[in-house]
Structure 1
């Protein structure tokens, strides 16, 4: 008789263990926290509703300015509890408020944020059905006669409460897809506009530069041909002028090509190309690259021109003594930081150059973050998700 086969289960070392689920006592503790926070949640819900009704007056704006952040704080605590119960994060996806936004503008951003209205719906749930569910869990634990009901009921009640919290306090799959489609539509439209503007620039450069010079070459050669028999010396001078003009036209064409895709970028990659930009600066620029490979060519081009714009702004406006550029790759994202020790106060909304950088990066789902307090330093962080193609590293290179 054969012995039964032994099943051997191997755990892969690279696969993280699932998070430990909270037990009944911890779930009951979470329920008690829900009960304790129900009263202030109700208070701030009332304040937000009242503030919204009387928002036409300054007192209403003041109430909203204080009550909305407080309501978000309580919502954040419930997100944290729900994430621990469910073993998965419940993100707070509020719209960012730009630094320095005044009271009215801040309240308007909050009012237009769909997550604010989700918070209000959650508050109403938290002080009604959610409160009943959490209170029931606590009462079942405290009553000796209901110990068995608590033992079997605490876990499903609290997990269902956590799923309801998550459903109200974070976007669902459909909403995320809708937001993603909207973002992609906006970025692609911006990319198309940028491409059309680039084509117009190239056409203008060719028309005003190389084309005009080539027309002049043709005219000079035509005159030289007609004058060759009667005045060979003048014809030779015209041919020499045509040759010089043709060389200038070739230079114009090379400039246009460099504006489309710089040869140094194709030859040396983003690290070498940024070092070449640094060498052209009037102030010392230190370039540090920790890239284990090369990004795709379109990403390299976008980051190159973004860094070029940032360095140009440093040279024109920062009044800096030193600048630096850092390139690194982490978690599938190419991160480029351009900094300087200048006067600070950089505002990406004050010029078209930085907005162009944002549009260029947005086409690749990239972002730009600016930190520039008065007095400096200024740090511009460019992040673009991408994959690297080859294992090559460019060492650090200070330039003077």
Structure 2
């Protein structure tokens, strides 16, 4: 039983050694030209930014570098068991090349990728190829011991070196075979670890720094606090609306019905008037409750989804609004709710402050993000700042790792883009 277990363990380690050697060889051969090409294209494209050509090419090149780096992260997890988190900032939907180029260049993750490329084409190439060398080099020693030394040696005085062993005859060739056997033992034990060293090197360069992680924690803490504060304020608003509106009407209606009960026999005419008043109070209370529920979570949003909810919202606006929806499914309810109220706030700002006579809303889902753009032909000049409605929208989206981008030159038009990472079901 113990013999079988040891045999199975040795066979498993041998298979792991050969697998690591093969994968390392493939990775080294394939990755070197790709890494060199990525580094060259990136350097040339960024150098051409000042003259304008790089504004067009840089987003494409850097997006390709991100995809290449993400593929290497996936291989690190799949082949080496080394997980490397990706911390790219979401890109703006704005098609302006200036916006996308400088958003990419301001992202610290972009510069980590660019630092990784020269490391990968040097030390990364060596560490990827090392497992194959550990496995293949002993084979040369065995071949020399078997007689190949006669082919590679140039005669007396010109030995063929295998490691530190000079081979000039059969005896020294057997010494090379002994060295090869020792190297094979080392390879059997350390090839897998050497292959993992390649991915650990990749992680050391691509992994976000502690400062970035601390900043990320700070942002998440702030957005969580904003979400809690917003929820508390919403609860207070609901309580206040119930107390001052529907509750007061229901109390008054109860008092009217009590009076009706006392006047039913003595003054039927007055009782009829109070009953009519109680009926109006109940209708008003019901309308207020409906408005309150609509403010918490619109029924059309729950029943028909975000697209139809935004269309219904647009129909109530005094400004003609066109809504284009391209969604293949529905996001999670909290995401839909956040997106709906964010769009509502943006549309309200456009109606109140832009002076526009036309508004366009576009909703679509692409690359794992829900993207919504609201465009108006108003006077422009909208900014995200303290006290503005857009700042509140930004905080609301931040709870879901969403971003807000505003393009609003003086004179218009204004485009507000909202982006929330999510999947559709």
User: Distance in 2 between the 1:383 and 1:323 partners?
Assistant: 19
2:31 counterpart of 1:21: yes
Distance (Å, rounded) in 2 between the aligned partners of 1:85 and 1:251: 56
Q: 1:273 to 1:239 in 2, by over 3 A?
A: same
Q: Does structure 1 retain, via aligned residues, the 8 Å contact 2:373–2:418?
A: yes
2:295 aligned with 1:259, yes or no? Answer: yes
Instruction: Sort the Cα spacing of 1:169 and 1:332 in 2 relative to 1 into closer, same or farther, 3 A.
Output: closer
Q: Please tell me whether the aligned partners of residues 209 and 252 of structure 1 are also in contact (alpha carbons under 8 angstroms).
A: yes
Match of 1:171 in 2: 208
Give the count of matched residue pairs: 279
Conserved 8 A contact 1:322-1:340: yes
Quick one: structure 1 residues 85 and 223, their matched pair in 2 at CA, closer, same or farther if it must change by over 3 Å? closer
Classify the secondary structure of the residue corresponding to 1:224: helix
Matched, 1:238 2:253: no
Partner of 2:374: helix, strand, or coil? strand
What residue is the counterpart of 1:216 in the other structure? 252
- 5+ residue gaps, structure 2, are 1-25, 44-63, 74-83, 92-105, 116-122, 124-196
Instruction: Give the match's secondary structure for 1:328.
Output: strand
Within 1, Cα distance between the matches of 2:220 and 2:87?
21
Q: CA RMSD in A?
A: 4.7
2:333 to 292, 297, 306: 297
Q: Calculate the TM-score normalised by the size of structure 2.
A: 0.55
Q: Which residue of 1 aligns with 2:240?
A: 204
TM-aligned CA distance change 1:87 to 1:230, over 3 Å: closer
Q: Structure 1: 5+ residue runs without aligned partners?
A: 1-16, 35-79, 97-112, 123-132, 134-159, 390-400
- Pick the structure with greater CA Rg: 2
**Corresponding position of 1:105:** none
Take 1:84 and 1:221, find their aligned partners in 2: how far apart are those partners?
A: 74
Task: Give the deviation of 1:291 after TM superposition.
Answer: 0.6
Q: Which residue of 1 is the match for residue 230 of structure 2?
A: 194
Take 1:255 and 1:276, find their aligned partners in 2: how far apart are those partners? 15
Query: What SS does the aligned partner of 1:380 have?
Result: strand
Residues 308-354 of structure 1, C-alpha deviation per residue, up to 9 Å, x if partnerless? 11111111111112110111111111001111111110012153422
Output one character per residue of 1:65-122: Cα deviation in whole Å (capped at 9) or x when no partner. xxxxxxxxxxxxxxx99x999996999989x9xxxxxxxxxxxxxxxx997xx99xx9
Give the TM-score, by structure 1 length.
0.58
**1:269–1:300 contact (8 Å) kept in structure 2:** yes
Contact 1:21–1:85 at 8 Å: present in 2 too? Answer: no
In the alignment, the residues of structure 2 paired with residue 86 and residue 357 of structure 1 have an alpha-carbon distance, to the nearest angstrom, of 31
Is it true that 1:279 corresponds to 2:289 in the alignment? no
Query: Counterparts of 2:70 and 2:424 in 1: how far apart (Å)?
Result: 35
User: Of residues 363, 380, 383 in structure 2, which corresponds to 1:344?
Assistant: 380
Q: Aligned with 2:379: secondary structure?
A: coil
2:388 corresponds to 1:378 = no
- Give the drift of 1:183: 2.6
Q: What residue number does 1:358 align with?
A: 394
More helix by share: 2
Residue pairs, 1:26-105, within 5 angstroms: none
1:92 and 1:373, CA in 2 relative to 1: closer, same or farther beyond 3 A?
farther
Structure 1 residues 114 and 331 mapped into 2: Cα distance closer, same or farther (>3 Å)? Answer: closer
State the Cα distance separating 1:243 from its structure 2 match: 1.3
Shift, 1:365, TM fit: 1.4
Counterpart in the other structure of 2:219: 183
